[in-house]
A and B are shown apart, each in its own frame.
Chain A
Amino acid sequence: MITQPQTEAPVSPVPAGDPTGQQVSWRHRHLLDVDALDTAEIERLLQSTAAMEEVLQRRVARTPALRGITVVTLFYEASTRTRASFELAGKILGADVINLSAKGSSVEKGESLIDTVRTIGAIGADIVVMRHPQAGAPYLAARHSTARIINAGDGTHAHPTQALLDAYTLQKALGDLQDKRICIVGDIKHSRVARSNLWTLTRLGATVTLVAPQSLLPPGLNQNHPLGLPAVRIDDDLDRALEDADAVIALRLQRERAAGVQVPSLREYARRYQITRERLGLARENAPVLHPGPLNEGVEISPDVARGLQSEIERQVQHGVAVRMAVLYLLARGGA
């Protein structure tokens, strides 16, 4: 449990207006999507991620920073890397981690999301990491939860920690993302990763081009709606879009979300939208290739690119642990 301050501990001498150790509280109780974060907050998260990555390289990669904190992962949908990396992140920081899935829990007996979240809070969870097939479910949970909520993917809406680890991976490969040209290719419509990527990358100053067939683009792009997505370029010709691209993010064709019926044939889709070695030659030299996984090899990405020198896919998974450590730390200890 997070203990409330009883008495003010002696404050170590840090002068006000200190340029290097600015004392800034983290103002968010939950992490539901990146759209709630401003550029400075995204940068602070990425800077904390770098510090966490260093922790992972220590001989004993364990710290007591979240000692006494209980993290519950609550997954209503399948996941390998996200859940495992949240669990590992919590354990490395000294938190207790409990894994719950809809299967085998009271959810199967018909318990509502609100009741489940209230119960988990009553047990003493400080942070609930939640994945749900319904867009917006974590927002509903956050309204009824005493614990902090981290969205680990809600339907086709958002996947903030994936977007943050993508941004971190791109920053490490390319440096400052200001004015970098990033191509996101594939099933944008069903991709919560793409949506969260749009917020993160545009706030960091990158220019984003979406490449997909019309049927796999979400409605409401570039409509200048106050609740809409940030402005992006859209192209249905991958070769044209790849020219001079600084980086490529390939997305999985989400056949379980009916994307299969929205493309005429897999072969035709692969012919037009697969990231192949020849196509990658059109982009900037050594342009990094990202993919949030799991891969449909031979559909959106060719096996030689997925395992090639420009592939960042394995590093993305490694960065995923550090990003989730940073998010857990800031939510638990950041002061909100």
Chain B
Amino acid sequence: MSLSKEAQTELTRVAVFAGQILHQHGAESRLIEQTTQRIGLALGADNIELSVSPDAIVITSLSDGHCVTTTRRCFDRGINMQMVCEVQRICVMAEKQLLDVRDVKKRLKRLIPFKHNRWLVVLMIGFSCASFSHFFGGDRAAYWVTFVAAALAMILRQELAHRHHNPFVNFAAAAFVATTITSFGVIFEAGENPQIAMAASVLLLVPGFPLINSVSDMLKGHINMGIARWVFATLLAISVSIGIVASMTLVGVSGWTS
């Protein structure tokens, strides 16, 4: 199939836009690479080559020996699996030739990140950390202390994220709040083992998704993406522990290393 220069440029833009959405919403590198290539091929390119790096993607489309190359910066917009699902669906539909370039572009432009109701998320995260306190062997008092601390920390995390604060500052602040609240549980001797609440209430700040993505990226050959995600997750964990240590020093309760 022969494409005009304009058609090839348009195709490249649509494909890179799909890749950019996937990158910004926390998809694995292999998925970004494959989906972008599949969309490009489905829309009529002879070949798509792309390079995924931690903050940008570069894509080249080939058609009749002509190359079109373009680069997009990818800022982190938070993990959103719904966006990943939608892009994947558009890719499958384009492959079945149900959509042409204009439809794909229109559908990609129309995507709005879906967010769960924030108070429901706060409630569920509160119960999640409370369940972790149960796994660590905590009693009912530890359960409820963890619930309150984790829910309040989650509210703070959402508020700061909504105001586009730096994630490291955000995580340190949330860890500080959670640890301070659970320290009062230790001071007032709530239940048998109130230290458990201190450990469980900060687990909402574990960067689980970046860590898993990091290892699977490295396994599948995207070493530089894997290292970038690993370093990001480690820095988040360090800022969480600095928040915890700051709170323990201020309140004077030690619950982790003793």
The answer to whether A and B assemble together is no
Residues of A within 8 A of B (CB): none
Residues of B within 8 A of A (CB): none
